[in-house]
């Protein structure tokens, strides 16, 4: 007999949790980011903003030197800057990596996106599916037979999760995502709206002047801490696995072909000429092998990189 671990919020009682905007002292920010700061630590901060738009109650950051002239004109109460930045100001919090420090601050106090809680009575969940504790499932989402959803997963509305798939603890699946059968998704993954995981790869055998479909019977395996952008598609393997390695971050509108293997902690972006050189450097440590579509895409980035260096 299947054992079900249902969330604490009963089925039929769905709510959206909205985080209240926090207020925090500069001293707390300095402690979080491990910064060097010489000003008043009891000044209170109630938001974050770009350096050009920040007001007296904001914290901001400077990571790109082109915006350094704004250090004098910004009204921000505190500014996260690089440890080796020339000059001095009582508003500066010196850190090793201002961009990362800003991410820490936003994640800790100011990430107030509404998130679902509970199981919607309008969701369709097969009796054989297993849901962990504190799982949220939005309205009109379909969860098929033998799906396993681990603890603290949030599935928004209008999501399709097909039979035999698994989603690891702490993951977030945004609206209109389609997850095909037997897909394996790791822990703490984020899948944005419109992504398609596990659709058929582009495989056809030509015989007698006609193209005959090759059944795609493999799977997609996504490791822990992967983020997949809106509208991205990841094809299932013809045989075996299409793999997205741990910690990889994929931009919107990226297509990954069948049997491709992406290594750990890669950055994949939709092709743009200005970013081609950076993309090529980032991917040199990655593993791309398997389907021709993956190899061709990688070669085109490297080719574009050479062109951009000579133009």
pLDDT at 293 over 80: no
Least confident span in 81-95, 222-236, 292-306: 292-306
Q: How many whole angstroms separate alpha carbon 252 and alpha carbon 223?
A: 19
Judge whether 258 counts as a catalytic residue: yes
Q: Which residues contact 257 (CB under 8 A, 6 or more apart)?
A: 201, 202, 235, 242, 290, 291, 292, 293, 294, 297
Within-domain flag for 4: no
Least confident span in 11-25, 153-167, 287-301: 287-301
Per-residue pLDDT tens for 178-201?
A: 999 999 999 999 999 999 999 999
Is the domain of 141 the same as that of 243?
yes
Q: How many whole angstroms separate alpha carbon 79 and alpha carbon 141?
A: 43
Number of H helices, E strands in the chain: 5, 32
From the list 88, 212, 258, 265, the catalytic residue is 258
Per-residue pLDDT tens for 67-80?
A: 999 999 999 999 99
Percent of the chain with pLDDT over 70: 80
Is the domain of 162 the same as that of 48?
no
pLDDT at 13 over 60: no
pTM assigned to the model: 0.81
Is the domain of 81 the same as that of 129?
no
pLDDT at 20 over 60: no
What is the count of structural domains for the chain?
2
Within-domain flag for 5: no
Q: Which phi and psi angles does 118 have, rounded to 5°?
A: 90, 175
Is the domain of 94 the same as that of 150?
no
Is the domain of 204 the same as that of 102?
no
Domain of residue 123, CATH code: 2.160.10.10
Full residue range of the structural domain in which residue 200 is found: 115-310
Q: How many whole angstroms separate alpha carbon 70 and alpha carbon 129?
A: 54
Pairwise pLDDT comparison (41 vs 297), residue with the higher score = 41
Within-domain flag for 265: yes
Is the domain of 145 the same as that of 286?
yes
Within-domain flag for 38: yes
Is the domain of 243 the same as that of 126?
yes
Domain final position from 92, 110, 128: 110
Per-residue pLDDT tens for 295-311?
A: 334 433 333 333 333 33
Task: Report the SS3 class of residue 67.
Answer: helix
Is the domain of 138 the same as that of 211?
yes
- The predicted structure's pLDDT at residue 307: 35
Within-domain flag for 10: no
pLDDT at 282 over 90: no
pLDDT band at 21 (very low <50, low <70, confident <90, very high): low
Domain final position from 77, 110, 143: 110
Domain final position from 87, 110, 133: 110
pLDDT band at 250 (very low <50, low <70, confident <90, very high): very high
The residue whose two tokens read 């997949």 is 228
Within-domain flag for 187: yes
pLDDT at 11 over 60: no
- The predicted structure's pLDDT at residue 274: 44
- The predicted structure's pLDDT at residue 113: 87
Domain of residue 48, CATH code: 3.40.1390.10
Is the domain of 261 the same as that of 156?
yes
Is the domain of 191 the same as that of 288?
yes
Structural tokens at position 205 = 């055998």
Structural tokens at position 92 = 């500066």
Instruction: Tell me the sheet residues that pair with 250.
Output: 228, 268
Is the domain of 163 the same as that of 124?
yes
């Amino acid at each position: 007999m299947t054992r079900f671990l249902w969330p604490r919020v009963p089925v039929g009682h769905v709510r959206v949790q909205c985080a209240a905007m926090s207020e925090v002292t500069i001293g707390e920010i300095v402690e979080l980011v491990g910064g060097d700061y010489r000003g008043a630590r009891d000044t209170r901060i109630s938001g974050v903003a770009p350096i050009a738009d920040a007001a007296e109650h904001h914290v901001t950051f400077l990571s790109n030197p082109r915006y350094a002239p704004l250090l004098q004109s910004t009204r921000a109460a505190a500014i996260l800057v690089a440890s080796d930045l020339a000059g001095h100001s009582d508003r500066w919090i010196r850190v090793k990596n201002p961009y990362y420090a800003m991410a820490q601050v936003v994640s800790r106090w100011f990430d107030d996106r509404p998130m679902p809680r509970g199981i919607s009575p309008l969701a369709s969940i097969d009796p054989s599916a297993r849901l962990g504790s504190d799982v949220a499932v939005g309205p009109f989402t379909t969860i098929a037979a033998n799906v396993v959803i681990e603890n603290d997963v949030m599935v928004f509305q209008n999501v399709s999760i097909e039979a035999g798939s698994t989603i690891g603890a702490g993951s977030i699946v945004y609206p209109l995502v389609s997850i095909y059968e037997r897909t394996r998704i790791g822990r703490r993954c984020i899948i944005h709206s419109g992504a398609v995981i596990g659709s058929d790869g582009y495989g056809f055998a030509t015989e007698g002047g006609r193209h005959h479909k090759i059944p795609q019977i493999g799977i997609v395996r996504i490791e822990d801490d992967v983020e997949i952008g809106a509208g991205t598609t990841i094809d299932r393997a013809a045989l075996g696995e299409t793999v997205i390695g741990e910690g990889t971050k994929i931009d919107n509108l990226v297509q990954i072909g069948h049997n491709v293997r992406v290594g750990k902690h890669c950055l994949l972006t939709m092709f743009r000429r200005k970013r081609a050189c950076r993309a090529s450097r980032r991917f040199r440590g990655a593993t791309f092998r398997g389907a021709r579509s993956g190899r061709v895409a990688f070669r085109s980035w490297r080719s574009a990189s050479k062109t951009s260096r000579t133009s």
